[in-house]
Every structure is written in C-alpha cells, then in structure tokens.
Amino acid sequence: MLEIGSIIDGKYKILNKVGQGGMSIVYLAMNEKANKQWAIKEVRKDGVKDFELIKQGLIVETDMLKKLSHPSLPSIVDVIEDDDTFLIVMDYIQGNPLSKTLEEYGAQSQENVVEWAKQLCDVLGYLHSRKPPIIYRDMKPANVMLKPDGSITLIDFGTAREYKSKNIADTTCLGTIGYAAPEQFGGMGQTDARTDIYCLGATLYHLVTGMNPCEPPYEIRPIRQINPALSSGLEKIIIKCTQRDPNARYQSCAELMYDLEHFDEMDNTYRRKMKFHLGIFITSVILTIGFGCVAIWGNSSAENIKSKNYSYILSNAKSLIIMRQF
C-alpha cells in the first residue's frame, strides 16, 4: 500500500484512500505544483495472481482511455510502473457509484433514470463510433459514478475491447452475470454494440425497480409488474434492450436515444389521450366540412330563388307595359 503523505514520482502527494477492489486500491492524490487533485489506482504484485497478465490488461485499458475524450469518461494523465506496482493516475471523480445510491435509497425516479440513460447512451454511442468501435461490455450501477451536479461518468474499462469483425476469441465469460448479455458467455455470437445496449437495459431495470438482476430470481420482468405507476413507454424500451436475440434489440445507440427522448409519447396513456384528441379533431373537421357544404348549398339555393324571383318580376313588368300600350 502507498503511505498517506508520501510523494509519488516527485509530484503526487497521497492524501487518503478512497476505494479498494479485489486487486487494486484507489487513492486521492494532490499535484501540489498544479494545485489539482487526481485519483491514483494502485495494483501491487504482492498477492495478485498472474500479475503480468493483469498488468498487460491494464496497459491495454490505459492506452484505450488515452485516445478518448468525452465528458462522461475519465482522463488518464500518467502511468507509473516498477517491479512491484502499477499505478494509473486519472481524473478524480467526486461523487458515488449508482450502486451506492441504490443501496441507500432503493429504486430511483424514472425521470432521473431516463436522464442518466440518455447520458450513458451518449457515451456508449461515442465509444461505438470510434475506429475501430470500442465495446464496453460491463455496464452496471457500480461502474457509473454520479457526480454532485447530476452528471455521470463511466468508469472501469477492464473488460472493454476494440471490435474486430468475426473475432470471437475474446467473447467468453466477460461481464457481470445479471447485467451481461447472453453472447458474453460464449456460444451465442460475437459481442458488439448491441451487447452494450443489453447491459444498459439491465442497468436501467435495476435503477428504476430496485430489483437486482444479479440476485434471485435472476430475471428481468416488465417493470410495470413491479411498479404499475411506471411508464409503459419506458417498459417497452427496457424490454427491447434486453431481448436475448441481438437482432431483436435496438441496433444502435442512436435508435435507443430517439426512444429515450420520446419515451412519454410511447406511453399507453399518452397514446390514448392522443387518439382522443385526434378523434375530436377529425370530428371537428367533418363537422366543419358538413357545415360548409350546408352553407354552400344554402347560398346556392338562395341565389337560385333570387334569380327566379327576378325573372318573375321582370316578366310581370313586361306584361304590364304591353297592357298599358293597348
């Protein structure tokens, strides 16, 4: 472990420990010359099986992140390694993972969940648009940091990979059971952008219902079976995201984003209201046309009667003139 107060690489002062995982510890550090805080992720050789393999994975992860620039992604600023440790210096993200929010408060409001979904959809779309595309493959509440301003940051790219057509060698046993798509466990095709869409759908399910798909009964049910007050539009989105067949899911984040931005219009209540208003509009149009036809017919009849009266008066006038002449 790094000592609190120690200086790393002559510039990063370790302030305190902020997190710990199975093989790494994360510290808050200060670059006193730049007056800026950073997070330092430490992976030590001691007690870690296959350290060299893990280190290679971390190198791949850091190299990938160095190429990226997006408001919802952390920046890697430095990598420091020696014989015993591998240190990654990155943005310090103030806030807590959404998994902690779920633990403390349970199911979240659908308004918040949809807003987070849009941000996650945007960052996934960014990753998928890279050349070659980057498939994240481990979307879950624990990997989404919620910052004080309400924005989110996607963390932990340990299972991400660059997409290569027909390359299924690295498509086995990756991701978190419950959130991971069926194809992530081998034998069901290659992971691609639609894999991330499944993982996002499972994450939204957990956030809006409070039901963890990683725990018994290990299923993703229609959300309105759990909370009837939820939007049927959002329910349709999550169901489509989490189809076992990738071809039945949204085929891109752009498709998903469109529905997220119009989820309330997909709601059954909204549609019934729109049908009612449409019915009123059509009825009004029909009545307007009907009244218009009646008015035209009435005007035409009046003109016809007026013309006949004029002809009758004119004929009588001629008869009177002739009679006077005699």
Record the tokens describing residue 299, joined without a space.
């005007």
Query: Counting Cβ atoms within 10 Å, is residue 136 exposed (0-12), middle (13-18) or buried (19+)?
Result: buried
Which residues are paired to 13 by β-bridges?
Answer: 7, 30
User: Among 152, 249, 163, which residue's Cα sits nearest to residue 198?
Assistant: 249
Q: Quick check: is 9 catalytic?
A: no
How far is it, in rounded angstroms, from Cα 126 to Cα 153? Answer: 13
Catalytic residue (one of 9, 84, 138, 267): 138
User: Among 112, 130, 150, which residue's Cα sits nearest to residue 196?
Assistant: 130
Geometric angle at alpha carbon 185, from 184 and 189, rounded to 5°:
65
How far is it, in rounded angstroms, from Cα 244 to Cα 240? Answer: 9
What is the torsional sign of CA 263, 269, 272, 277?
negative
How far is it, in rounded angstroms, from Cα 83 to Cα 23? Answer: 16
How far is it, in rounded angstroms, from Cα 66 to Cα 77? Answer: 8
Q: Which residues are catalytic?
A: 138
